[in-house]
A and B are shown apart, each in its own frame.
Chain A
Amino acid sequence: MHLKNIRLHQFKNYNKASVHFSEEINCFVGINGSGKTNLLDAIHYLCLTKSALNPVDNLNIKHQKDFFTVFGDFDLHGKEIEIKCIFESGKKKQLIQNGKAYDKMSEHIGLLPVVMIAPDDTSLIKDGSEERRKFFDNMLCQLNRKYLEDLIRYTHFLKQRNALIKQFAEKGRWNAELIEPYTREIMQLSKSIARMRHDFLKEYEPLLIEYYKTISGDQEKISIQYETQCLEDGFESTFKANEQKDFILRRSTMGIHKDDFVFQISEYPIKKFGSQGQQKSFVIALKLAQFMVFFKHLNTKPILLLDDIFDKLDDNRIERLMKLVADHEFGQLFISDARPERSQGILASMDADCRFFLIEEGEVTDWS
């Protein structure tokens, strides 16, 4: 699969731009703030219907304008797929595939896989469990329709249950009969989702270990500890026993929204015990393993977006990552770099079709 071209209108700092891409390597060069990352983000929009950086669509409209459009043509197994993403302030976002609008955005997820690597972004390791759940949810949703549907249902029932608990708290009275349908759904969906998360890690973790070794050159053993109460024996009775606590705290205190994925190095949390370099390698390995899992399941190599890797990684890690590129591990590649000579130097030796684009204040020109 690859993206043949993209057309932007009033997207972030772009007024109008139209770019034709190489099937192999595309490198966006230009000073910081010129719009390199925004172009990567536009590709993310086409693949996943949303920004990788800013979840609020409104904030992705060019300053003082009231709509944006991102259009692109993909080649998927030889079939042409045109995707149009249209967002007008105050209206519902529209996503159109070959002239037909999707009823639900979620129907598009999984068709055009994409992986974005921003090595400086160690929030996956450093932030709270929500970031990590989002990462795995996002991945599983692209791979498994049942997971996506269960998660949508779960999120909805959780909102309803929490609203109900708030009302109970205000009235000072718990209504067991009324909350029962929500509790039942949440317990059932928690078990199903936790099971899918658990099974997925059995496949994902070995890939992660492999890529961590490749990128870091370390011999340290890494692992993921999946922490959940939802697969324990007697989960249902614990859940019910916990309702007293729900009532006091005015929200649901058990379920898969409390799970965590603890990243470990030599059996210690990498958050506390990993060096900066180890954390960066870990983040890259997480994304590369994601790439490989998508490739295996979806039978097409995902688009890979590499944001600012040459600046944020040391030479050894860049060299090992580029070896993977040279070995044709990846499909279509998009790279952003503030220093054109550097990326040209690194990419020149590749046996691949490589195109450079100069980005200046939201204008794109071919450059070589």
Chain B
Amino acid sequence: MNFPSKLIEDAVNEMSRLPGIGKKTALRLVLHLLKQKESVTEELSHALLALRKEIKYCQKCHNISDTDVCSICRGVRRDRSIICVVEDIPDVLAIENTSQYQGLYHVLGGVISPIQGIGPDELKIESLMERIRLAETEDKVEEVILALPATMEGDTTSFYITRKLKALNIKVSTIARGIPIGGELEYTDEVTLGRSILTRVNYSAD
């Protein structure tokens, strides 16, 4: 792509480094900003800079946070006896949006994959063990929910963590996987359907 201005070219190049943004989209965004008041660009750059400089990660659960300990970990109504282990930050947001969960989280920052050079040491696994071991008596952890992706890496990571937790003698569960609500059996892929049958649950007509 040829640009009439070096300034535009630099801006487009920087913008198109973001995921999902191609050169064309970047150019459209850049031209859009030029048409707006100068303050719009100033506020945007200020917000981005502040984000980068001031963002923190919760010391307990490693979720994104404005403070040393995040609002979920500080929440007075949260159930401290349950920890839900997720791969990354967007998973916390997804589960929070269901409004079905009142416990705490633990963000691993990835899953184990030796090919990519990611082992337990690159993830927040030891920190999870510490957290459980060091919990105060009134905050004692009774259950860990593994909510990792349903991939081979997710499964091996779950298995590894489960083995580690065995020594700590607490309940370990994993989120159910199966047919989507409103889904037809015949259109469900065989692996999901097979797994749903193997992990079937009691049905009560009470």
Please list the residues of chain A having a beta carbon within 8 angstroms of any beta carbon in chain B: 145, 149, 153, 156-157, 159-161, 163-164, 167, 177-178, 180-182, 184-185
Contact = CB atoms under 8 A, between A and B. Distances in A.
Contacts of B156: 157, 160, 181-182, 185
B185 interface: no
Interface of B: 112-115, 119-120, 152, 155-156, 159-160, 163-164, 190-191
Contacts of B164: 177
A177 B119 contact: no
A160 B159 contact: no
Contact of B152 (A156, A163, A177, A180): A156
B119 A178 contact: yes
A177 B191 CA distance: 28
Q: Is the interface of A mostly helix, strand, loop or mixed?
A: helix
Contacts of B152: 153, 156-157, 160, 185
Contacts of A156: 152
A149 B191 contact: yes
19 contacts: A145-B190, A149-B191, A153-B152, A156-B152, A157-B152, A160-B113, A160-B152, A163-B114, A163-B115, A167-B119, A177-B160, A177-B163, A177-B164, A178-B112, A178-B160, A180-B160, A180-B163, A181-B159, A182-B156
Nearest to B116: A163
Contacts, number: 37
A150 to B, nearest CB: 11
Contacts of B112: 178
Given A157-B152, A178-B112, 13 more contacts: A153-B152, A159-B115, A160-B115, A160-B156, A167-B114, A177-B163, A177-B164, A178-B120, A178-B160, A180-B159, A181-B155, A182-B156, A184-B159
Nearest to A179: B114
B70 to A, nearest CB: 29
B110 to A, nearest CB: 14
A163 B118 CA distance: 11
Contacts of B163: 177, 180-181
A181 to B, nearest CB: 4
Contacts of B160: 177-178, 180-181
Q: Which of A160, A163, A167, A185 neighbours the largest number of chain B CB atoms within 10 Å of its CB?
A: A160
List 6 A-B pairs, minimum CB-CB distance, nearest first. Answer: A163-B114, A164-B114, A181-B156, A181-B159, A163-B115, A160-B114
Contacts of B113: 160
Contacts of B159: 180-181, 184
Nearest to A166: B114
A180 B158 CA distance: 12
Contacts of B155: 181
B53 to A, nearest CB: 36
Contacts of A153: 152
